[in-house]
Amino acid sequence: MNTSGMEPITISVVIPAFKVSRHLRNLLQRIGEEVTHIIVVDDFCPEESGKIALDLSKTDTRISVIFHDQNMGVGGAVKSGYTKALALESDIIVKLDGDGQMNPEDILKLIDPILNDSANYSKGNRFYDVEAILQMPRIRILGNLVLSFISKLSTGYWMLFDPNNGFTAISSKTLRNVPLHKVDDRYFFESDMLFRLNLIRANVVDIPLPAIYGSEISNLSLTRALFEFLYKHNRNFWKRIAYSYFLREFTLASIEFLLGILLLTFGIGFGFFNFMNSQINNSATPTGTLILIALSVLSGLQFLLGFFSYDIQISPSSRRRN
């Protein structure tokens, strides 16, 4: 890609391919000339999607195919593509799903904040346009609403929404600082990437890009993903707090978090103990004890609100771009 007054920009598109044979050919043919390399990763696809890309590579020399000899998961496939894109000395790497839900004509819009040095990583947001939201299956809307809020807690990117959106772009400089071997290999990949990006204080921006829903069939079980994602978000939340507020630095916010957790835990635990004791002994809890419990809970909540207010203020992300 050439930009006036600048050195040519090398853009690579990574496409994980698993059971996308019905959509892949059309998708590849729609990728614009601004893209330098197209890397398709056949993740041991039973439909042999990679062969479709390999056939198209005869006429489109930008296309190359990586074949996995076992299924590595969408995250594992993307990481293989990222590694090759870095080897090709790409400046910007776009991740585009192969199921046809994302419009390749939006690539220029997606990478614009990276080109302008206003972001290190950009991602699509399917929830910006109300009309586009109405096209989305209702169960996906509910699941994304819940997971989006939990993701804010675990990743620290409070201004972002739709964390599982797979239409993303990242600068090569930023990607080289991400320990890819630690990023999740499965469907938690996008959320885990945001967690890792926060640890290196990368600036991330949302781009309003509606998804296209048609005849594609999701390989993700929403029920299974919900419990798996909740567990992994919880794990990442505590890791982020430990890394950012206790290992790398220790600030007033760190003290607020500690006091908040201690006071809230004490208040709830002591309150529960006294409630059970009063039920067993059929006696009233002393007023002083009730005041102590109430003060502990309220003070703990206040400290935690102060902590999260600070956490939101230092979030390394930009607001949505129009």
| 65-123: pLDDT as tens digits | 999 999 999 999 999 999 999 999 999 999 999 998 899 999 999 999 999 999 999 99
Q: What Cα–Cα distance (Å) separates residue 315 from each residue in 176, 201, 322?
A: 21, 8, 20
User: Which of 4-8, 204-208, 258-262, 263-267 bottoms out in mean pLDDT, i.e. has the lowest?
Assistant: 4-8
The yes-or-no verdict on residue 282 having pLDDT over 90 is no
Q: Which residues, including other chains, have CB under 8 Å from residue 53's CB and lie 6 or more apart?
A: 15, 17, 24, 28, 38, 40, 42, 63, 65
* Amino acid sitting at position 271: G
Strands (E), 74-181: 92-95, 121-125, 168-171
∠ CA 268-269-275 to the nearest 5 degrees?
A: 85
The yes-or-no verdict on residue 322 having pLDDT over 60 is no
Quote the DSSP letter at residue 31. Answer: -
pLDDT grade for 44, boundaries at 50, 70 and 90:
very high
| Mean pLDDT along residues 57-67 | 97
pTM: 0.91
| Mean pLDDT along residues 241-246 | 97
Q: Which residues of 259-278 are buried (b: 16+ CB within 10 A; e: fewer)?
A: bbeebbebbeeebeebeeee
pLDDT tens for each residue of 209-228: 877 765 555 555 566 677 88
Q: What Cα–Cα distance (Å) separates residue 253 from each residue in 246, 250, 304, 305?
A: 10, 8, 9, 10
Separation between Cα atoms, residue 179 and residue 197, nearest integer Å = 10
pLDDT tens for each residue of 170-187: 999 999 999 999 999 999
The yes-or-no verdict on residue 297 having pLDDT over 90 is yes
Can you give the pLDDT at residue 217? 54
CB atoms within 10 A of CB 321: 16
Region of 310 on the Ramachandran plot (φ > 0 left; ψ -120 to 50 alpha; else beta): alpha
| Mean pLDDT along residues 18-42 | 96
Helix (H) or strand (E) holding 21: helix 21-29
User: Which of 29-43, 234-248, 272-286 bottoms out in mean pLDDT, i.e. has the lowest?
Assistant: 272-286
The yes-or-no verdict on residue 167 having pLDDT over 80 is yes
Strands 121-125 and 168-171 come out as: antiparallel
The CATH topology of domain 11-222 is Spore Coat Polysaccharide Biosynthesis Protein SpsA; Chain A (3.90.550)
Can you give the pLDDT at residue 219? 55
Exposure of 59 by Cβ count < 10 A (0-12 exposed, 13-18 middle, 19+ buried)?
exposed
Q: What is the mean pLDDT of the chain?
A: 91
DSSP 211-249: ---SS------HHHHHHHHHHHHHHHHHHHHHIIIIIS-
Can you give the pLDDT at residue 143? 73
Asked if residue 166 lies in contact with residue 193, where contact means CB atoms within 8 angstroms, the answer is no
Can you give the pLDDT at residue 92? 98
Can you give the pLDDT at residue 152? 95
Where are the chain's structural domains?
11-222, 250-313
